[in-house]
Amino acid sequence: MQWERKTLQMDLRQGLEKPQGGDGPLVGGVPVVTQAGSLKQTGANDAFVKFSGIQKTYDGETLVVKNLNLDIARGEFLTMLGPSGSGKTTTLMMLAGFEVPTQGSILLGGRSIGGMPPHKRDIGMVFQNYALFPHMTVEENLAFPLKVRKLGKPEMEVRVRRALDMVRLGVQSKRRPGQLSGGQQQRVALARALVFEPKLVLMDEPLGALDKQLREEMQLEIKHIHDNLGITVVYVTHDQGEALTMSDRIAVFNDGVIQQLATPAELYERPQNPFVAQFIGENNRLHGKVVALNGSTCTVEIPGAGNVQALAVSVEIVGRPTVLSLRPERVRLNPTPGSLPNVFSARVAEVIYLGDHVRVRMSVCGRDDFVVKLSNSEGVAHVEPGAAMTVGWRAEDCRALDAS
């Protein structure tokens, strides 16, 4: 999808020069994410969205969100990622105004939005089920939020046309939602969320109903729109690949708590605990005990297998149990003797061809679920079920995490 960046940004600025209801400009002072949890500001304001001490319970006893503190920068694409029941959607609904925090405060643009109804928060929403009016045409669906805001007809027509062009649906403007494909309906929903130029756009599993190919196309389309318009997006999903593809930062939720907040690369390459390591991408887990600490590295004893040299991430005491995290693509088959500090015997249990790579399940260190990913270019004809070989990896590719 191609956009003219200058044209889109100029159009958006022109729309913002005449804000409705006295509101100021909605885009500007975009911060740059420099590292996990750190934002470099180009404007005077701090966080655009700020959760402080947020807790939420539905029954007065069980907390579904626990002491949440989270800052989101203006112009950032932040994804809340986690399994069902982890608290991510509840957090999004509190920001939207459809749920009320039991405790704590939420600021938007430096102002508290506690007690403010959803329609006054100037937030765009995109849902999985599209939530389009079936009796209205595409352009009528897009015009609806503008009519609610009492825009004049000329301005309304300009904004609707601009939004249709942005999502490439100009020729479908007279059709009704039932005459469109799932991908086209999701584009209409996205355009409707953007047409009134909100401060913030929230997306709750918006691509969950689409097939794999459409989902991947829409991921890139949403990310391109975000990059070109500079809008702030908070996105909820349980799909790890989706989060890695689209996000500036990802907040990984589990049991009502953010387990780690970081860039996609930081989360994948440097998970801080076993849950994040297992939830983000495929991961081999080896259980053992720390027997030595050597600065940034440690020695871990694997029962019945021997010692492993690993990066000491969240282990500080000798004798404590640990979980070793090792990505399948970091493992080497039949390494040259002496080239790697960690080498173990292995036996192939299963070989699965996946096009651009081969997934090999092996028995290693007493585990039958150890996985190695091999590129087809590496030559895998010798890798067959039952074959005996060795596997090896570098110490810095194996992360020792606290098992408690």
> Where in 82-155 does DSSP place strands (E)?
103-108, 111-112, 123-127
DSSP state of 172: G
> Where in 62-221 does DSSP place strands (E)?
63-72, 77-81, 103-108, 111-112, 123-127, 200-204
What's the CA gap between 141 and 191, in Å, rounded? 9
Structure tokens at 282: 């495929």
- CATH 2.40.50.140 domain span(s) along the chain: 282-401
pLDDT of residue 29: 30
- What torsion do the CA atoms of 56, 242, 170, 124 make, to the nearest 10 degrees? 20
Tell the CATH topology of 282-401: OB fold (Dihydrolipoamide Acetyltransferase, E2P) (2.40.50)
pLDDT of residue 144: 93
What's the CA gap between 262 and 36, in Å, rounded? 4
Cβ atoms of 222 and 202 within 8 Å: the answer is: no
Q: What is the pLDDT along the chain (404 residues), one digit of tens a residue?
A: 333 333 333 343 333 333 333 333 222 232 333 333 333 333 334 699 999 999 999 999 999 999 999 999 999 999 999 999 999 999 999 999 999 999 999 999 999 999 999 989 999 999 888 889 999 999 999 999 999 889 999 999 999 999 999 888 889 999 999 999 888 998 899 999 999 889 899 999 998 888 888 889 889 989 998 998 899 999 999 999 999 999 999 999 999 999 999 999 999 999 999 999 999 989 999 999 999 999 999 999 999 999 999 999 999 999 999 999 999 999 999 999 999 999 999 999 999 999 889 999 999 999 999 999 998 877 677 889 999 999 999 999 999 999 87
pLDDT of residue 379: 67
The CATH superfamily holding the domain 45-270 is P-loop containing nucleotide triphosphate hydrolases (3.40.50.300)
CA atoms within 13 A on the CB side of 275: 14
Beta bridge partners of 321: 289
| Parallel, antiparallel or unpaired: strands 306-312 and 297-302 | antiparallel
pLDDT of residue 404: 75
What's the CA gap between 360 and 380, in Å, rounded? 10
Instruction: Give Cβ neighbours of residue 309 (< 8 Å, ≥ 6 apart).
Output: 297, 298, 299, 300, 341, 342, 395, 398
Cβ atoms of 115 and 105 within 8 Å: the answer is: no
Between helix 153-166 and helix 138-148 the angle, nearest 10°, is 130
Beta bridge partners of 105: 52
Task: For residue 232, give the nearest of 200, 265, 270 by alpha carbon.
Answer: 200
- CATH 3.40.50.300 domain span(s) along the chain: 45-270
Burial readout 123-140 (b: 16 or more C-beta within 10 A, e: otherwise): bbbbbbebebeeeebbbe
Cβ atoms of 121 and 23 within 8 Å: the answer is: no
Instruction: Give Cβ neighbours of residue 130 (< 8 Å, ≥ 6 apart).
Output: 177, 185, 186, 188, 189
Structure tokens at 171: 């020729």
Q: Which amino acid is at 246?
A: M
pTM score, two decimals? 0.83
